[in-house]
Structure 1
Amino acid sequence: MLRARPNLKNKLSATLKSWLPILQSDPLEIEETLLNCAKDNPFVRVQSGMRTDFSSHKFYKPPKNALGDQIERLSVRPKSLHETLNEQLLPPLFPTPMSLKIATDIIENLNPEGYFEGDTQAQALNLGVEVADYEKVRQRFAYLDPPGVGACNLLESFAFQLAQHEELDTPTYELCARILKDLEQHQQHRHHPLYAKAMQVITSFKNPPALEFGESLPPIIPDILVLEEDGDISVQLNEGYYPKVVLEQGKIAADNGYLKEKLKEARDLVDALQMRHQTIQKIGLMLVEYQYDFFKGGAIKPMRLVDLAEEFGYAASTISRAISNKYLACNRGVFAIKSFFATALEGDVSNAAIKEFLLELINKEDKQHPMSDLKILELVEKQFGLKMVRRTITKYRKLLNIASSTERKKLYGMALDLT
C-alpha cells in the first residue's frame, strides 16, 4: 500500500494555517486563495495559471474545440432569460406603451423555467387594465423566443411552440393541435396518416421552455487525470491550471524581524502549495489502487474516508477537505472524487454497484411491461444476495432520474408509436 512520507507530515504543523485552505480550493479558486495568503507580503508573487498559454494545459481527451468553448464561458456572460425577452418587446407584437407595460409585467412574473406564475386577474387589476387585454398580450408570447415561454403550463407551452412551426401544412398542424388537447390519449389518433409526423413535431418540443437559460454551472476542471495507455494506468495532476508561487527574495538586514517573518511566511506558502500537489497526487494513486476494477470498466467498491486517512496518517476530516470540490477525469468520464467513497451496504456491495445494476435493468426491460420497484427489488436482492426495502430502490431510481414504471410505460408508448 502507498504511505505518506514522514517529511510531508512533519511540515504540516508549520504550514497548516495556509495549507488547509489551499488544499480545499478547486482549480478555479486556488489563485484567489493564494493571493489572499500572500497579501501584503513583499516576497511573494502569484503567477496565474489561468492567464498563460491555454494550449499547454492538459485535459483528458478533450472534445474538439472544448477548450476554446471553456475559455469563452469564463469570459463571456450569456444573456439572461429576461434580457432576451425584453429585447423582443417590439412592434408589431407590442405596438403601444400599454402593451409594453403588460409584457414587462408578464416577464417579471415568469419562473426560472419560463412559465408564467402570476395571477392574471390580480396583475391586470394592479396595472389598471382589463383582464382580457392582459391575457391578449400574454398570448403574443407564443411568437417569442425561447418557444413556449410565457405559458401557464406544459400543454399551453406546447401549444405556444406549435404556433412557431409555420412550415407545417394545415392538416398536420391541426392534428398536432387536436393531440395536444388530450395528449395522454394521443394513441386514439394513431391510424391517422399524419400521426407519426405530428408526434415527431410534438416530441421535439422543449420542457421547460427556458431550458437553455437554466443556471449555468462553472466549468469543471479536474485536479486528477487517470490515463491509460497500452493497458497501463498512470496518475497525473492537471497542473496546467495551477498558479505558481514565486519568491522575490532580496537582502534582509539582520535586525529586521518583520521582513524575516514575511520571508518565512512566503516559504511556508511555497511549501503549502507543494504539499497540496503531493496530497492530491497521492489521493489519485490511492484511488487507482482501491478502485482499479472501476478504471477497467467495473463497479465502484466500498471505500471509507477513514481508510484513506489511515494510509496518509492524517485525520479523516483533513482528507475530506482534500477531496471537497475536486474532480477526477478518466476514460469513463469526469467524476467527483467523493463519489469514489461509496457507502457499503453489506459485505463488498456498494450503493454505486446497486445503482449501476438498476440502470442496466431499466435499459434492458420489456418496453411493453416496465418493471415495478418491487420487481427491481427482487432482482437486486437475488443479484447481490442481500435484503433491502422497496423505498431504497425508489430512492435510487429517483436519484438516477428514472421515471416510475407507469410513467415509463407512457414514454415508451410514445416512442414506439413513432417506429
Structure 2
Amino acid sequence: MAVLRQSQSVENKHKLSNTLRNWLPILHSSLSDLGEAMEPFVSANPVVEVKSGYEEDFEKKIPKKIVSGSGVNNSRTEQIEALTIQSKSLYEVLDEQLEAPLFPTPISQEIAQFVVANLDENGYYEGESDEFCQEHNIDLDAFEKVRLRFAHIEPMGIGAKDLSESFLFQLDNSEISNEAYPLGVEMINDLQNIHSYSNREHFSEVMHIISTFKNPPNIEYQEDSSHVVPDLMIYFNDEQQIEVKLNDAYYPAINIDTSYGVEHDFVSQKIKEAKSLVDALEMRKATLYKVGLMIVEYQYDFFIGGQIMPLTLKTLADEFGHNPSTISRAIANKYIACDRGVLAMKDFFTTAIDEDVSNAAIKEFLVGLVKAESREKPLSDMKLLDLIQEKFKVKMVRRTIAKYRKQLNIAGSSERKKLYQLGLS
C-alpha cells in the first residue's frame, strides 16, 4: 500500500506540474490572445480541438446590467460604447457638439473651443479664463455661463473644473428622483464625508446613481480600447449588490477526442496533456476571478463613485502566495468592464509610499493645497511637506515634494508669487 500511495503522489505531482507549466503562459496572455497562447499545446496534440470564443457576438455575452446601464438616460448608449471600440477621438466627439443649440453664437463657440483646448489629461478644464475674457472683452460671468453648458454634452462631466463639478454635471443628466436630487447635490459637494449621510433618506438611491458616474470624465478615451476584451464584468445586480462575473463565454472551448484507442501509450499521454490544458484554463479563470473579488474588496469606493484607493501588488501576492512579479504579469493586458467603463486591471494598483498611502493621493492633495494657498504668501516646499506628513501620517523628504511639483508642472513658491503678482496664475 505504501508503494501505491507513493505512485499516486508522483502521478498527482506530475499532473500538477504539467498544469502549472501550461497555466503560466495561459494566465499571462490577454483574453483576446488566449487562443494564440494555447496554440503550441494544441498543435502538437491530435486529440484536442479548440473552438474560438470569438465566433459569437461579444456584446451578447455581457450582463444586461452593464449593457443597459443603471439608471442613466443616455441617448448615445454610452454603456455599450464603453465595451466596444472607440471609433472617434475625444476631440472629434466634442467638436461635433460645439454648435447650436448649445453654442449658437460665434463668441459662445469660441468659448467652447477654448474650453476644449484647455482640458487636462483627465478631461477637466484648467484654462486661464480671466485672460480669455480680457482678450475678448467679456466678463467672467458670461464666460462661465457658456462653460457650464458643457454639463449637457458628452462624455458627461467633461469641461468641469474638478471632480465635484463633474459629478454635478452628471447628476443633472441622471434619472435621480426629484426627492433624492437635493441630497445628491449635498453629498457631491461634500465627497470627503459622503458616508456620513448614510442615515439620510434616499441615501441608497444617491449612492447608486453616483456609482454610475465617470471618474475622470474622459475615462473611456484615456487609452485605445481597440481589441480589448475584458476578463471580468463587475456590476450592480437588481438587489444593488456588486457582482463579479467572469467573461467565461468568451473563452475558447476545448474538446478532447477520446475515440482513439486509449490503450496506446501515445494516445493516453496526449489525452492526459489535453486534460492538463483544460485544468490550466480553469486555473486561469479561478485566479482572475479571485483577483476580481479582491479588487472589489479593496476598491469598493471606486465602484460607488469614489477614487481608486492605494493597493499594492504585494498585498495581492501575499493573498495568492506568489511573487509580486508573477502577479504583475498575471494582471498585464487584463481588463475589467464596469458601469464606469473598461479599465485595465493594473489601473487598480497604485504605487505606494507605504501600505496605506498612494503617491497619487498625495499628488492630488498637493494640488489642492496650491490651489487654495495665499497669493501673497505661497506655500514653501517645507510647508507643503509638513502639511502632507500631518495629513497622511507618513515620513517624506523635501526633495520628494519638489519632484512631485515638477511632475505636476507646479512652479516653486517664489516663482508662483511672481506669477500671482503678474496676474498670470
- Give CA-to-partner distance per residue, 1:51-96, whole Å, 9 cap, x none: 21234221673572775797677xx9x9xxxxxxxxxxxxxxxxxx
| 1:143-182 alignment, distance < 5 Å | none
Q: 1:359 to 1:264 in 2, by over 3 A?
A: farther
The alignment partner of 1:345 has SS state of coil
Closer/same/farther in 2, CA of residues 297 and 71 from structure 1, 3 Å limit = closer
**Counterparts in 2 of 1:329-340, with a 5 A limit?**
329-340=337-348
The answer to whether 1:309 aligns with 2:317 is yes
State the match for 1:239 in structure 2.
Answer: 248
Aligned residue for 2:53, secondary structure, equals: coil
Other-structure match for 1:249: 258
Match of residue 66 from structure 2 = 61
Distance 1:66 1:28, change over 3 A: farther
Answer yes or no: is the 8 Å Cα contact 1:35–1:46 preserved in 2: no
In the comparison of the two structures, how many residue pairs are matched?
Answer: 300
* In structure 2, distance between residues paired with 1:305 and 1:9: 29
TM-aligned CA distance change 1:11 to 1:340, over 3 Å: farther
Unaligned runs of 5+ in 2: 1-11, 68-75, 89-104, 111-129, 147-221
Identity of aligned residues (%): 42
- 1:191 and 1:287 map into 2 onto residues whose CA distance is 51
Query: Which of 207, 222, 230 is the equivalent residue of 2:230?
Result: 222
In structure 2, the residue corresponding to 1:245 is in which secondary structure? Answer: strand
Please state how far the C-alpha of 1:275 moved relative to its aligned partner. Answer: 0.7
Instruction: Give 5+ residue unaligned stretches, structure 1.
Output: 1-7, 79-166, 173-183, 201-213
- Please give the TM-score of this superposition, normalised by the length of structure 2: 0.53
Contact 2:51 2:253 in 1 (8 A): yes
1:168, distance to aligned residue in structure 2 (A): 8.3
How far did 1:273 drift?
0.6
Matches within 5 A, 1:89-104: none
Question: Hey, what's the Cα distance between the residues in 2 that align with 1:299 and 1:65?
Answer: 21
TM-score (norm 1): 0.53
* Superposition RMSD in Å: 5.4
Matched, 1:282 2:287: no
Change (3 A) 1:50 1:370: farther
1:267-286 per-position Cα deviation (integer Å, ceiling 9, x unaligned): 11111111100111111122
Does the 8 A contact of 1:373 with 1:390 survive in 2?
A: no
1:293 touches 1:299 (CA, 8 Å); kept in 2? yes
Tell me whether 325-334 or 281-290 shows the greater mean CA deviation: 325-334
Amino acid at match of 1:237: L
Equivalent pair of 1:302/1:341 in contact (CA under 8 Å)? yes
CA radius of gyration, larger in: 1
* Offset of residue 252 of structure 1: 1.4
Match for residue 261 of structure 1 among 250, 254, 269: 269
Q: Does 1:404 align with 2:406?
A: no
Aligned to 1:353, the other structure's residue is in SS state helix
2:229 match: secondary structure: coil
Q: Deviations over 1:247-280 (max 9, x none)?
A: 23313152x3222222222111111111100111
> What is the aligned counterpart of 1:51 among 48, 52, 55?
55
The answer to whether structure 1 residue 14 and structure 2 residue 22 are counterparts is: no
Letter in 1 for 2:410: S
Determine helix, strand or coil for the equivalent of 1:386: coil
2-side partners of 1:240 and 1:46: how far apart? 14
Name the structure 2 match of 1:81: none
Q: Would you say the 8 A contact 2:79–2:341 is kept in 1?
A: no
Quick one: distance in 1 between partners of 2:138 and 2:409? 29
Cα shift at 1:360: 5.3
Partner of 1:28: 32
1:326 aligns with 2:316: no
Does structure 2 retain, via aligned residues, the 8 Å contact 1:20–1:321? no
8 A Cα contact 2:254 2:278, kept in partner: yes
- Please identify, of 34-43 and 374-383, the stretch whose mean Cα deviation from structure 2 is larger: 374-383
Asked whether the equivalents of residues 85 and 225 of structure 2 are also in contact (C-alpha less than 8 Å), the reply is no
Of residues 387-396 and 41-50 in structure 1, the stretch that sits farther from structure 2 once superposed is 387-396
Q: Does 1:40 align with 2:44?
A: yes
Letter in 2 for 1:318: T
CA distance in structure 1 between the partners assigned to 2:393 and 2:77 by the alignment: 44
Deviations 1:84-119 (A, max 9, x none): xxxxxxxxxxxxxxxxxxxxxxxxxxxxxxxxxxxx
- Whether the aligned pair in 2 keeps the contact of 1:58 and 1:240 (CA below 8 Å) is no
Give me the whole-angstrom Cα distance separating, in 2, the residues matched to 1:373 and 1:31.
Answer: 56
Whichever residue aligns with residue 261 of structure 1, its letter is Q
Contact in 2 for aligned 1:225/1:236 (Cα 8 Å): yes
2:66 maps to amino acid: K
Contact 2:82/2:342 (8 A) holds in 1? no
Deviation at 1:224, TM superposition (A): 2.2
2:228 aligned counterpart, secondary structure: coil
Q: Secondary structure at the match of 1:218?
A: coil
Within a 5 Å distance, the mapping from 1:351-366 to structure 2 comes to 351-358=359-366, 365=372
Q: Is the 8 A contact 1:44 1:247 kept in 2?
A: yes
- 1:206-217 equivalent positions in 2, closer than 5 A: none
Cα distance in structure 2, aligned partners of 1:356 and 1:394: 14
Partner Cα distance (1:313, 1:253) in 2: 37
